[in-house]
Chain A
């Protein structure tokens, strides 16, 4: 463990390396390259090294790649619009079958964040199309599916839909009351939050639920004072060195962000044992760069970015501040907030 804090240099190199090339064994992540891009850029931003690691020219090229993943209009593909997770679906012109070339709310969220971090003004984003697609993806229950045709529906995608709407400052694609109501049903008996009513409380879903409500402006409506107490209690009980994602599971670095950020949004920063959390994250730093889930595994972009962002909450004087409600620098979120014209629900 370093007394000087995180090994910023080697982590910056790690993210640059991932942005540049990933090995063949990561083919399983081919449909989530947009998310990987977001994570690497966020990781660099969290280290305060984005501008010096990625040149202006490289940023321009990345922006081009991202826009190349925006699904163009085609007859019958309204629900498939937005950004796709990678170029694996093929050239847009070659896809007569609209279902074969689909956007995905997680990819759209990541694309917008990545564009913002790369300094893009989102001028080429087809906002109307995205908002319409979101409208097609919300379920009767208030939850969201990530793309047409699947039965996967849970707070991860509610969060993505809320993040997209917040960034675009356009909530026409999200019935906020319905989504808030669904999330309210995910408050569990033990104070935690779940993927669906009565499922097990989970740190990742705590984040998705709390962040969604924050973005929608309905946090205090849905989470009564008593619930907020119990939620903070759940979060604090799940800090054992690092944060555990569920009761009686081992600490995992990514929850430094999922739970750490939730605690920030719930106003519980002063309650956290920051030394312990920071120490755990540092114990997960890989000697050659990147941060791993725990001290016994290898690093990956997800655990690296989230570990570093989570570390930042605990050591606010060491690293630039990341926003808790979106995986973006606080400075960018402040600009979004200042520019908002939509009213609260």
Chain B
């Protein structure tokens, strides 16, 4: 929807397959005559023709170069055809098609169809065959990152991200490569680069969390609730606060650090993060005034005070009052569009019902 479509041949030059010598031996299978159709598409003659021949070769599972070429032409126009990808995969395997060429072809398709799901999974399948995990296990992270297959894939994903910095598929694909081949270290570097390029890129921030939870140095992946080393927590708090200073109204670092601490080091919310935020607010220079006008700051305070109240019951009533005040400020001054939500949040604090 809204994607540009490159037609594989100019309409004037198009010769129907039924008039081509090469296809003489094939009986095309037309789409059924449907007097009772729903959402019918006004197919071009070219599309109808291609599809009739595709149906014919798929029906008898023909393995040939002409079938492979035909799948390419269909996918170019209709990458959502969900069985043709599997058929193409079989053809590539049985014909022994050169993987480089095939990966190039997938790259071409991805230029036209940025949001198509199937092509990424198709690529994943190709790569899994090219470099299996057993072979990869014998290599170091350094060697893996330099391995032509992996280097190429990282570049492919990076190019997609260059085109659309938040391309959901590209970031997911990177997670698959990193996890499958264990190349966690380079991913942290990549994440840092992307955050420096655009501090508001939430996909990059999420990827940062992914790397932290990941399989660094051969350890098993962390559980959602597992604690993090103190030094790591220190580093991440400092990192997030640095980025908050760049654009205080940017949701990503706020969500990142409060979410991370809530899960893995909740006491650090009030022991370490809170003093840093308060210091920023007190500082009286440019970003300090913007930090106290951003809803993110007050929203973070609500979460921090709430948690602190749980851990320090003798101070709970004072802390909860501060949290409720923050909710009022949000509801009436800093984030009135979400007024009803902040009143609800306040009521949760009164009742102690956030669990």
Contacts and interface: CB of A to CB of B under 8 A. Distances in A.
Interface of A: 18-33, 36-37, 40, 61-62, 64-66, 68, 85, 87-91, 94-97, 99-102, 104, 114, 146-147, 149-152, 185, 187-191, 195-202, 224-226, 229, 232-233, 236-237, 239-240, 246-249, 270-273, 276, 297-298, 300, 302
B170 to A, nearest CB: 11
B340 A30 contact: no
A247 B348 CA distance: 24
B294 interface: no
A247 B254 CA distance: 11
Nearest to B340: A271
B31 A88 contact: yes
Interface string B312-351: 0000000000000000000000000111110011001000
Contacts of A88: 31, 51, 81
A22 B251 contact: no
A102 B82 contact: yes
Contacts of A149: 83, 86
Given A247-B255, A272-B340, A24 B43 contact: yes
A96 B203 contact: no
Nearest to B89: A149
B125 interface: yes
Contact of B260 (A189, A195, A200): A189
Contacts of B105: none
B354 interface: yes
Tell which of A187, A190, A239, A249 has the most Cβ of chain B within 10 Å.
A190
B213 interface: yes
Nearest to B200: A248
Contact of B118 (A27, A32, A150, A273): A150
A80 to B, nearest CB: 9
Contacts of A65: 34, 36-38
B162 to A, nearest CB: 18
Interface in B16-55: 29, 31-32, 34-44, 47, 51, 55
B60 A96 contact: yes
A87 B31 contact: yes
Pairs A-B, 3 closest by C-beta atoms? A225-B355, A226-B355, A189-B259
Contacts of B124: 151
B120 to A, nearest CB: 9
Contacts of A249: 166, 202
Interface string B72-91: 00000111111101110000
Interface stretch (B1-9, B135-143, B145-153): B1-9
Contacts of A89: 55, 83
B41 A22 contact: yes
Contacts of A225: 353-355
A95 to B, nearest CB: 6
11 contacts: A29-B41, A30-B41, A30-B78, A30-B80, A61-B36, A65-B34, A65-B38, A102-B82, A187-B224, A198-B213, A247-B252
Contacts of A232: 341
A302 B1 CA distance: 10
Interface in B278-311: 299
Nearest to B2: A297
A229 B354 contact: yes
B107 to A, nearest CB: 19
Nearest to A275: B337
A22 B40 contact: yes
B65 to A, nearest CB: 19
A70 to B, nearest CB: 14
A256 B256 CA distance: 25
A176 B175 CA distance: 27
A73 B266 CA distance: 56
B117 interface: yes
A20 B77 CA distance: 22
B38 A270 contact: no
A298 B58 contact: no
A139 to B, nearest CB: 14
